[in-house]
Copies of this chain bind each other. A is one copy, B any other.
Amino acid sequence: MEDRSHYQSLFEPRAIAFIGASTTPTKWGFNILHHLYKGGYAGGIYPVNPQGGTWFGREIYKGLADVPRPVDLAVIVVPKERVPGTMRDCAAVGIRAAVVITAGFSETDAEGAALEREVVSIARESGIRIVGPNTMGVFSASPSPVQAVMMSTAIKPGGVAIVSQSGNLGTSMTYRFNRREIGISRLISSGNEADLKVEDFLEYLETDERTKVICLYVEGLRQGRRFLEAARHVALKKPVILLKGGTGTVGAGAAMSHTGALAGSFAVFRSMCRQANIIPAATIDDMVDVAGLMLSQPEFTGKRIGIVTQGGGWGVISADLCEEAGLELPPLEERVVAMLDRFLPPFWSRRNPIDLVAPGKVSMVTDAIETLMKHTDLDAILLLGLGYMTARARRWLDSPVLPIEAMERPARTMIDAEMELLELVVKQIREFNKPIIPVIDLVAFDEPADGNIVKHLDREGVMSYPSPEQAIRAIAGAQEYFRKRKSRA
């Protein structure tokens, strides 16, 4: 049985030594230490620097030997030539895992590569496992937040694990998830992968109960077969979404230069992923969109999509996009049209996309959804056009030409109606156990939080999309994954 205890040292340390602590704000020795403290880690954080002193009132230890024990994890930001010595010091105090932030190793030149080999050899001898070097760091949400990363934003805990062979892309992904109230379980910038590799982390995440969805950014694999095997296993349990960097010739060269990873043939890689039921993402936005869908909606395996829209044009382009994405838009049976005719306004489209035009009542939307859920065999519903009512009501209230006292009541009524609609839709998702995916086109993040229905839904754990194309790409990606997984179960 493989020893996996180092993952505990890494992700659930009892205490952390921060080696290379600095009081200079432009240095990583300052910033990453700051993020560790700010992250709210409950165990001991021990800054180390030979010069000693304090870090805003917190003691800086002059050497690792002075640090209280036990300490499981070292975060290392010392100059590269001092990394080997530091590793030996870590071994001496029983540290089991090290995040080596320091750069200047195999990603630079032959000298750097030799230094990296030395570091790895010390690690092997002493039983320390390494993330990096040349890593942006590691975040672990639980049991207590370890925010040992360059990224300065507070990271929300949650179900998404990110393993990235690029620090800045890992940061970009985390930032995007957090904006949408989607939390992170573990974030690993794997750096040069001198020791622990994306393959290792993938195996770890398979059994990590905190992790529900795995997002990978991969430029090159050192152990392709092992990766494929691990991915195939994991994908039977939880979705693995992968963005591949270095798919072109120039990009592959650039990848080589920044982490030393060999990109390999993209065609081969893509077919490997298909076999392993890895979800391919073309961009990090795609990644966030499909992960958000999987975390917020029930599982679905079929392609039959119903579009319910409050505007004709949206319905048209969404139908086009569904067809392009290989999704189906089944026609409505006459009996269903007849049922909808009973309560929809006379000018509704009488077809799928179900264009309600401008529904006068909240119940028209929810009754239409209910009818479709009960009397058709659609697999999911795309709901377009939310946000209009709230947007309009807010414009009434801030209008220079309308007396506020005349508008307060109708505005309240309208805002309440849209909020009620949201609540009902969230309930319908649970009730019918099928996805109802909202697109909110006219309310953006920059709108005031009060009444911002995007943020409201985010807090309810339901991902909405700012455009139909983003929603539809996510639906297509999730559907294919769920369908394949079911067929392999």
Interface size class of A (residues with CB under 8 A): 35 or more
A153 at the interface (CB under 8 A from B): yes
A56-B402, A351-B257 as given contacts; A392 in contact with B152, CB under 8 Å: yes
22 A–B contacts, CB within 8 A, in A order: A25-B407, A25-B411, A107-B347, A108-B346, A152-B392, A166-B316, A167-B311, A172-B441, A217-B313, A246-B316, A251-B316, A251-B317, A253-B319, A253-B351, A254-B312, A254-B349, A254-B355, A255-B312, A258-B315, A285-B469, A445-B446, A446-B446
Give chain A interface residues in 306-362, CB to chain B under 8 Å: 310-320, 322-324, 329, 346-347, 349-353, 355, 357, 360
**Shortest Cβ distance from A288 into chain B, in angstroms?**
11
A476 at the interface (CB under 8 A from B): no
**Shortest Cβ distance from A161 into chain B, in angstroms?**
18
A171 at the interface (CB under 8 A from B): yes
Give chain A interface residues in 135-179, CB to chain B under 8 Å: 152-153, 164-172, 175, 179
Give chain A interface residues in 467-481, CB to chain B under 8 Å: 467, 469
A444 CA to B285 CA in the complex, in Å?
14
A60 at the interface (CB under 8 A from B): no
- What residues of chain B lie closer than 8 Å to A314, measured between beta carbons? 166, 168-169, 172
A34 at the interface (CB under 8 A from B): yes
Most buried by B among A172, A254, A314: A254
A330 CA to B183 CA in the complex, in Å?
40
A38-B401, A444-B179 as given contacts; A254 in contact with B392, CB under 8 Å: no
Contact of A320 among B25, B103, B104, B247 (CB under 8 A): B247
Closest 7 CB pairs of A and B: A166-B313, A168-B311, A258-B312, A248-B323, A251-B319, A445-B446, A169-B313
**Shortest Cβ distance from A358 into chain B, in angstroms?**
9
A370 CA to B247 CA in the complex, in Å?
29
A254 CA to B244 CA in the complex, in Å?
37
Most buried by B among A152, A314, A349, A400: A152
A406 at the interface (CB under 8 A from B): yes
A364 at the interface (CB under 8 A from B): no
Most buried by B among A171, A250, A310, A322: A250
- What residues of chain B lie closer than 8 Å to A253, measured between beta carbons? 319, 351
- What residues of chain B lie closer than 8 Å to A7, measured between beta carbons? none
- What residues of chain B lie closer than 8 Å to A243, measured between beta carbons? 317
- What residues of chain B lie closer than 8 Å to A313, measured between beta carbons? 164-170, 217, 219, 245, 258
A316-B245, A317-B245, A410-B25 as given contacts; A258 in contact with B355, CB under 8 Å: yes
**Shortest Cβ distance from A69 into chain B, in angstroms?**
24
A347 CA to B355 CA in the complex, in Å?
57
- What residues of chain B lie closer than 8 Å to A399, measured between beta carbons? 34, 38
Q: Interface code A354-377, partner B: CB below 8 Å = 1, 0 otherwise?
A: 010100100000000000000000
A48 at the interface (CB under 8 A from B): no
Closest residue of B by beta carbon distance from A263 = B316
A403 at the interface (CB under 8 A from B): yes
Given contacts A250-B352, A257-B350, 5 further A-B contacts (CB under 8 A): A166-B314, A166-B316, A249-B323, A253-B351, A254-B319
